[in-house]
Amino acid sequence: MPTFLSLPDKVSSVAGPFNVLLLTMLSVGLFFVIWIALLAFESILSGEIAEEKARPDSDRTVPKWWSLGAGLVILLFFLWSSVIYWQSLQVPAGAEDVISVAKHWVWKFQHAPDGKGEIDELHVAVGQPVRIIMTSQDTVHSIYAPNFAQQQDILPGKFTTMWFTVTKPGEYPFYASQYSGTGYTKMVGKVVAMEPEQYQAWLSGKPVAPPAEGGEDLVALGEQLFTQLGCSGCHGDQDTPTAPSLHGIYQTERKLADGSTVVADDAYLHESIVDPPAKVVEGYNPIMPTNFADLPEDQIQALIAYIKSLSGVAPEAGGGAAPSEGAGDPARGEELFTTNGCNSCHTDQDTPVAPTLHNVYGHEVELEGGETVLADDAYIIESILDPQAKIVKGYSPVMPPYSDFSEQDLADLLAYIQSLSSAQAGEGEQPAAEPTQAPESAPSEGSQAPSGDEGDPAAGEAAFTQNGCNACHTDQDTPVAPTLHGIYGKEITLADGSTVVVDDDYLLESIIDPHAKLVEGYGPVMPPTYADLDPQVIQDIIAYIRSLTP
């Protein structure tokens, strides 16, 4: 609740001292106003003003003491406010850094160094100092958080900072207080302060509570995730300039940015969560973060159940289950295994990139933490949907999540992986296949395979799409990533203020070590896993990016 004189709740380490200073100044000011009013009233009653008596010039005691007292009070407030201001500049050790970019008409936040990105919403932990490192992508902006008693100007091409420690869980609004154009009043957001364990669960993308099987519980979990993951910051109960409302949309026809239409069914909702730029609603930009593809499938289903409930659709009892035994088609599973590129890492023997899946089913697998797990149906399904959950010892978490597989796809893949194990086949131990080298494909007649220095733009475009680069790097700048159209050979400004020419060396470094040189206005959100790409594939991608500049 607001405190005396409608001051906002003091919920940060800075707001408390500021509120005390402000109330003291108001109280002292009110005291002097009342005192002067009483003196004037007493003079009127005594008739001194009417008589206009001349006062001797020799008696200056009262004016001297008055001036001295007022001067001391002003000096006291000056020193007091200076101390509070100086303390507000001292960032505590261990503060969590958050990179913020202001832009017409959104606030973008990126938890450093490789954390989540947010739009118009900032999640923080109670008791944890947070330093926001801010810059502007277009013009001068200013952020004002009344509950924190803080305001900070944000300038293009420069970095300014503001820090605070939230002392109480809750949601606290912030606003744009600097006129930056006709839409500046739309630049509103909120700070969501959570208990430390809830914040860590949100940051890791996992729910605080485990998934439940009941339909109603699934909706409750979806609603909880919807808030924890920051979805509610953009998708409110009505359309906003940032995102459309999700109330009442299920099974309705939605018009997309390309002019086509689509029915908002389960498949559309699923795709919009894991690949939001695929179908952008008309009137909106592709600004939704793409990191929700990393969510486990049960969490995605919970979100879908909650969104359906906003349209009055009752959830079905029970959640999604693993495919039943024997329901899969190994032949189709092998086809999926190949077409989705699984065979490029999981071969018939262990490689530095991934372990083999031959003779794995039904055996114990040692994990990175030292514990072991049985490679059964549940483990394999989890490893497909959420490959980061259990990392095999000796390997890195480089496998992307395949959360868009249908239940039948999962059953077929599971059947194929089972068929690779003699234990599942029931035919006794079989000799492991001899490792073979892929035959070198000869170039087709009339064409020449590109050299490592040249690269093939057509192959690069295919790799660009297959690796999901086009989800962030579109034909125009987005809040997530800059466009690559027309940048080759140009000079760009980096986050540290330096400049660099976009040539082959820069593109190569940006692919294999994307955090080395961050473009101004963008956070370190690009994953560093592309260093594992084949060198020829990287050269093809570079050739494709070159072709985007006429």
Give per-residue pLDDT as tens, 241-274.
778 889 889 888 889 989 898 888 888 898 898 8
Bond from prior residue into 105 cis (ω within 30 degrees of 0): yes
Instruction: Say whether 156 sits in a helix, a strand or coil.
Output: strand
The confidence score (pLDDT) of residue 205 equals: 60
d(CA 441, CA 544): 22
The confidence score (pLDDT) of residue 336 equals: 82
Name the band, by pLDDT with cuts 50, 70 and 90, for residue 153: very high
The confidence score (pLDDT) of residue 320 equals: 39
Looking at the chain, the whole-number percentage of residues with pLDDT higher than 70 is 81
In whole angstroms, how far apart are CA 118 and each of 108, 169, 292, 331?
Answer: 6, 19, 12, 42
* Residue linked to tokens 């004037």: 40
pLDDT average, residue stretch 78-85: 87
- Average model confidence (pLDDT) across the chain: 78
The confidence score (pLDDT) of residue 212 equals: 43
Task: Determine the angle formed by the axes of helices 266-274 and 297-309, rounding to 10 degrees.
Answer: 130
Domains of the chain: 4-33+59-89 (no CATH), 96-204 (2.60.40.420), 215-309 (1.10.760.10), 330-425 (1.10.760.10), 457-547 (1.10.760.10)
For β-strands 160-164 and 130-136, DSSP reports them as antiparallel
- What are the residue ranges of helices labelled H in 90-128? none
Looking at the chain, the whole-number percentage of residues with pLDDT higher than 90 is 12
- Contact between 116 and 203 (Cβ < 8 Å): yes
pTM surpassing 0.85? no
d(CA 130, CA 171): 16
- pLDDT single digits (tens) 373-400: 888 777 888 888 878 778 888 877 767 7
32 versus 290: which is more confidently predicted?
32
Give the distance from CA 207 to its chain's centroid: 16
The confidence score (pLDDT) of residue 8 equals: 58
443 versus 116: which is more confidently predicted?
116
Range scoring the smallest mean pLDDT among 12-16, 355-359, 468-472: 468-472
Range scoring the smallest mean pLDDT among 114-118, 261-265, 450-454: 450-454
Range scoring the smallest mean pLDDT among 256-260, 271-275, 324-328, 356-360: 324-328
The confidence score (pLDDT) of residue 223 equals: 86
Query: Which one, of 547, 546, 550, lies nearest residue 505 by Cα?
Result: 546
Which residues touch 21 (CB under 8 Å, ≥6 apart)?
A: 77, 80, 81, 84
Which of 34-43, 68-77, 114-123 is predicted most confidently?
68-77
- Exposed / middle / buried, residue 5 (Cβ in 10 Å: 0-12, 13-18, 19+): exposed
d(CA 408, CA 322): 10
